[in-house]
Amino acid sequence: PQQKDFLLAVEALTVSFDGFKAVNDVSFYVDPNEIRVIIGPNGAGKTTVLDLICGKTRSSGGSVRFKGHDLTRMREDQIVHAGVGRKFQNPSIYEDLSVFENLELSYPKGHNVFGALFFKRDQAVIERIHEVAEMIFLGDHLTDKAAHLSHGQKQWLEIGMLLIQKPELLMLDEPVAGMSVAERRKTAELLNRIIQDHAVIVIEHDMGFVEDIAHKVTVLHQGKVLAEGSMEKVKTDPRVIEVYLGH
Ligand code: ADP
């Protein structure tokens, strides 16, 4: 397919830290409605790849294109605006606020006005908050303080805080770390709902979860792409077994 058909095109992406190539000539392409999982040993460069895509780290070579736009030289906030949302491992929710208020605060600015006198909760905002809360299994918890949620519910709330901004690509760093079996299952269900209108890139170590969710897996090793394809294909690749799965 043509370049522009991919939602995200990462090409020859490279970054060095003091001469050490943490990400070295990495290329991969993500389609709309795809769940891509990045796996690989610690230090393989997985987090750095996401940092490069979202603009947290500047690349020293290569390019990142999203819907045909070059993200490579954009600032982090411009990349968010372009439609790329990133969730880090530790939830950055407001513990003292309710689920509703956390979602409300994440609603894209410019659609409503924050400020004691001017604030107005318009119907569209309220409806969107309810819609997202249902999606993240928190429809019955809108008035609960975030501090009182379970670990898994907090992770979902943070995903909801991204979803409310309507990104087209979500990047999640180990979304099921620390979750119960039931929460993992629901997270897989959530991701399958999300990809109806988004693409998702996930960094994950839990191979059972990867098997459940991945459309395609990219295996990184020492900053390079070691293998790519379906989980079926990747898990029988001798090089992948040697450096990662065999442990
Ligand atoms: P992974 O997420 O696969 O565990 P990382 O992307 O976190 O790997 O790290 C890849 C390599 O780059 C590691 O050797 C790490 O120490 C190094 N690295 C990551 N970020 C920095 C940085 N800001 N400065 C120096 N080295 C870094």
Q: Ligand 1, residue 220: give the atom nearest the CA.
A: 3
Ligand 1 pocket, 106 CB below 6 A? no
Question: Is the pLDDT score of 118 beyond 50?
Answer: no
**H helix or E strand, kind and range, residue 137:** none
Report pLDDT digits (tens) over 208-227.
999 999 999 999 999 999 99
The CATH architecture one would assign to domain 1-83+168-247 is 3-Layer(aba) Sandwich (3.40)
Q: Which amino acid is at 103?
A: L
Residue with the smallest CA separation from ligand 1 atom 23 is 17
Residue with the smallest CA separation from ligand 1 atom 17 is 22
The pLDDT, as a whole number, for residue 112 is: 44
Ligand 1 pocket, 42 CB below 6 A? yes
Lowest mean pLDDT among 87-96, 98-107, 158-167, 169-178: 87-96
**ipTM score for this prediction:** 0.97
Return d(Cα 65, Cα 75) in angstroms, integer.
14
Of 167, 196, 172, 199, the C-alpha closest to 82 is 167
Measure 228 CA to ligand 1 centroid, in angstroms: 21
Look at phi and psi of residue 76 and say left if phi exceeds 0, alpha if psi is from -120 to 50, else beta.
Answer: alpha
Average pLDDT over residues 220-237: 96
Q: Which amino acid is at 234?
A: V
* Beta bridge partner(s), residue 227: 219
Question: Is the pLDDT score of 36 beyond 90?
Answer: yes
Who's near 210: CB < 8 A, 6+ residues apart? 37, 39, 204, 217, 231
Please report, for the chain, the start and end positions of each structural domain, with discontinuous segments joined by +. Answer: 1-83+168-247, 95-166
Tell me how far apart the terminal alpha carbons of the chain are, to the nearest angstrom.
37
Ligand 1 pocket, 26 CB below 6 A? no
> What predicted TM-score, i.e. pTM, was given to this entire model?
0.92
Indicate the SS3 state at residue 234: helix
Ligand 1 pocket, 48 CB below 6 A? yes
Question: Is the pLDDT score of 247 beyond 70?
Answer: no
